[in-house]
Amino acid sequence: MTTPTTTAAAPSGSTAEGRAPKNPRTGGRPRDGRSRIRRHLPTSPWLFAAPGLLVAGAFSLYPFLSTVTNSFTDRRTLIAGRFVGLDNYREMLGDEMFWTGLRNSTLYVLGVVPALVVLPLLLALLVQKQIPGISFFRSAFYTPVVASIVVVGLIWVWLLDERGLVNAVLEAVGVGRVGFLSDQWLLLLSAMAVTVWKGLGYYMIIYLAALANVPRELHEAASVDGAGAVRRFLTVTLPAVRSTMVLVGALSSVAAFKVFSEVYLMAGPDGGPAGEDTTLVMLVQRTGTGLSGRAGYASAISVVVFVVTVALMLLVLRADRKEDA
Amino acid sequence: MNRQGELMNGHRDGPERENGGGNSRRGRGNRESGRRMPGWEIALRYVLLLAVLALTVGPFLWQLSTSLKGPHEDIFSSPPAFLPEQPTFANYSRVAETIPVWDYALNSLTVAVANVVTNCAGAALAGYALARLRYRGRRAATVAFVLAMLVPVEGIIIAQFTTMRELGLNNTLVGVVLPLSVSALNVLLMRNAFLNLPYEVEEAAFVDGANVWQRFARIALPSVKGTLAVVAIFAFMGAWDDFLWPLIVLSDPQNFTLTIGLNYLHGTFANDERLVAAGTIIAVLPLIVLFACLQRYFFRGVGEGAVKG
C-alpha cells in the first residue's frame, strides 16, 4: 500500500503528529539522545505499561490459551472439567448442528465478501468527485456504520416483516408478499444483505483513501491517449486500488465468518424453527453460556472458529501474493 | 467489523485528507481527469447519490416515522404511509413503561464513559511506554499487544464468561467494561502517535529536569490529542453499540444495557412495532448526534484502525 503523501490538506488543528511522517524507527531521533533520556526510575516503564498489559494478558491472551486447553476437557460453567482428549472434537464431527453452523458461516463469507469488496469501491468512485453537497452524502452513507448492530437488525426486521414496508411496496407493485424472515434461505440472504448494508460506508471510506492516492497524471495520460471512463477504470484505478481490495477482502471475510448479531436478531436466538440458520458463533454462544453451559464443547467450536479465520486471512493474502508474482 | 488490518498496513491519515481537509481541497475537484464534467454526468451522479441516500438513510427515517405514529394509525397499510398522520411521542413514554429504557440508557452511558476513560488512560500510558521509554522487555511487551490484538473477541467469549464468573463479576457493569477496558489496538495506535513526535522537545524538557511523568503529561500527551480523540470516540461507540459480550455477561434485566434491553423488548413485545421503533431511536440518536458533530474523527478512525470488533 502506498503511503499517503503529505502535500494534501493536513488535519486542521494539526499538532506535531500531523507533520511529515518520519520513519517510525529512526525518525529524527539523535542517537546520543537515547542514552540521556534513558535515565528514569527503573520501575516506571512497567508502571506505565501495567494497566494495558494486565488487560491484554487477562482478557485476551489468557482466555485464548484457556479456550484451547478447555477444548480438551468436559468443563461446564459450574463444574470443573476433566481432560477428555479429543472427545469434543469427535463429538463435533457427529453433531449435525455444528455442520449447519459451519455451512451457514461459510455461505455467509461467500455471499458477503464479493459484495463488500465491489460495492463500496463503486460507492467511493461515486462520492470521490468534489461536487456541491458531496460531504453531506459521504456522511449520510456512513450513518449505518455508526448505529449499533442491534438497532440495524431491528430496523430491518421491521422493514422485512410479513406486513412491513418492503412487502407493502412489493404488494403495491404487484409482486406480492415475500416471506423474507420465514424461509430458511431467504432469511440467511436477508441477513447477508443487512451486513452488506451496514458495512458499505465503512469500506467506502477505506477505498476513498486509496483512490486519493492514485496519481492524477496517470488518469490524464490515459485520457490523452483516448481511453474512455471504463478503460481508465480498468487500467488505472483498478490496479492502483488492488491492494486495498485485498485488505477489504481479508477484513470482511474474517468478520463475515464470525457473524452473530444479524442472524441472532433476525432469526431469533435459536436460529430459526429447527435452528437451520444457526451460525458457528451462535452455536458457541448457545452451547457455552448460561448456568448449564458446556464450556468444553463450546471451546472446541471456538478453536474451529480461530483456525478458519486465520486460514481465511492467509488464503486472501496469499492469493494477493500469487498475483504479484 | 474489524479494523485491525488498517493498522497493520500502516495505512494512516488517508480519509482525513479527503474529508476533513476543508478549504485547501478546493481546486482539487475533478482532479481525476482535469476536465469539466458534462452536465448529464453531473445529473446522473446526483440521481445515483439520491438513490443511495434513500437506501442508507431511508430505513432510519422509516423507523422514526413508525415511532411517531399514533395507536390508532394503521402502520401496516399498503401502499405505506410515510408520514405519521397523528404524530405523537406517546410511544416513547410507553416504551419507558414497558422496559426501564432510561435506566438502560444510563447503564449504556456508564459503560461507554468508563470505556472511554480506561481506554484513553491505559492506552496513552502503555503507548508511551512502548514508544518512548527504554527498558528490557519492551519488545516482548509490544509483541504481547500485537498478539492480543489478533485474538478475535468471538472466539474467547466462553473463557471470558467463566473468568468473569470466577471473579464474581458476572451480571455487573464492571464485567461488561473490563475485557474491553484497554484495547490492545488502541495501545498500538497511541504508540504510533508517540513515535511520530519529534524527540527534541522532550529531550529539552529532560535537560530542564522534567521527570518521566512530567514529560508524558505536559509535553507528549498534549501533542497527540488528535489520536486520543479518535480512541475516545471509538471507545464510546464500541461500548454503546456492543451486543454479543453484554448479552453473555448480563443476565438480570436490571443491569441491561440499551442494546440488550432492545433485544429483550423485541423478543417480548414484538407485536408492537411502534414501541420497538421508539426504543431503537432512543438507542441510535445519541450516536448520530455525536457523529454529526465529530465526523472528522470518525473518518479518521477508519483510517487509523481505531477500533476492534
**ipTM > 0.90 (yes/no):** no
Looking at the domain assignment, is residue A179 inside a domain?
yes
Question: What's the CATH code of the domain at A221?
Answer: 1.10.3720.10
Q: Let me know if B209 is exposed, middle or buried by CB neighbors in 10 A (0-12, 13-18, 19+).
A: exposed
- Write down the residue that cell numbers 498475483 correspond to: A323
Residue found by looking up cell 463469507 in the block: A109
> From first to last of its 309 residues, what are the pLDDT tens digits of chain B?
444 444 444 333 333 333 333 333 334 444 444 456 788 888 999 999 999 999 999 999 999 999 999 887 888 876 777 888 888 898 899 888 888 999 999 999 999 999 999 999 999 999 999 998 877 888 899 999 999 998 999 999 999 998 898 899 989 999 999 999 999 999 999 999 998 888 887 888 888 888 888 888 888 899 898 889 999 999 999 999 999 999 999 988 889 999 999 999 888 765 788 899 999 999 999 999 999 888 888 887 776 653 332
Bond before B246 cis per omega within 30 degrees: no
Give me B187's grid cell.
495501545
Element (H, E) at B291: helix B273-304
- The minimal CB distance from A33 to the residues B3, B24, B199 is found for B199
Q: Note whether residue A34 is domain-resident.
A: no
Q: Which residues of B35-60 are buried (b: 16+ CB within 10 A; e: fewer)?
A: eeeeeeeeeebbeebeebbeebeebb
- Helices and strands (H, E) in chain B, number of each type: 16, 0
Closest Cα in chain A, distance from residue B260 (Å): 8
% helix / strand / coil in chain A, to the nearest 5? Answer: 70, 0, 30
Give how far Cα A309 sits from Cα of A250, A258, B190, B238, B289, Å.
Answer: 9, 8, 27, 22, 35
Residue A16 domain flag: no
For every residue of A292-307, which 3-state class applies, written as one string? CCCHHHHHHHHHHHHH
How far apart are the C-alpha atoms of A170 and A165, rounded to whole Å?
Answer: 9
Judging contacts by C-beta atoms under 8 Å, the chain B residues touching residue A48 are: 125-126, 128-129, 133, 212, 216
Determine the residue type at A232.
Answer: R
Length of chain A: 325
Which residue from B6, B182, B213 is facing A55, i.e. has the nearest CB? B182
Please tell me whether residue A153 adopts helix, strand or coil conformation: helix
What is the widest separation between alpha-carbon atoms in chain A?
79
- Secondary structure E strands in A32-124: none
Residue A14: inside a domain, yes or no?
no
Q: Does a structural domain hold residue A12?
A: no
Q: Give the nearest chain A residue to B257 (CA atoms).
A: A150
Per the structure, the count of domains in chain A is: 1
Distances (CA, A) of A213 to A20, A220, B185: 16, 15, 25
Chain A CB within 8 Å of residue B15 CB: yes
Q: Tell me whether residue A300 is in a domain.
A: yes
Q: How many pairs of residues across A and B have Cβ atoms under 8 Å apart?
A: 418
Domains of chain B, by residue range, sit at 37-88, 98-304
CA dihedral B27, B30, B33, B34 (to 10 degrees): -30
The CA distance from B93 to the nearest CA of chain A, in Å, is 19
How far, in Å, CA of A221 to CA of B37, rounded?
Answer: 17
Quick check: is A191 in a domain? yes
The rounded distance, in Å, linking the Cα atoms of B14 and B2 is 18
Domain B98-304 is in which class?
mainly alpha
Asked if residues B237 and B287 have their Cβ atoms less than 8 Å apart, the reply is yes
Residue A95 in any domain: the answer is yes
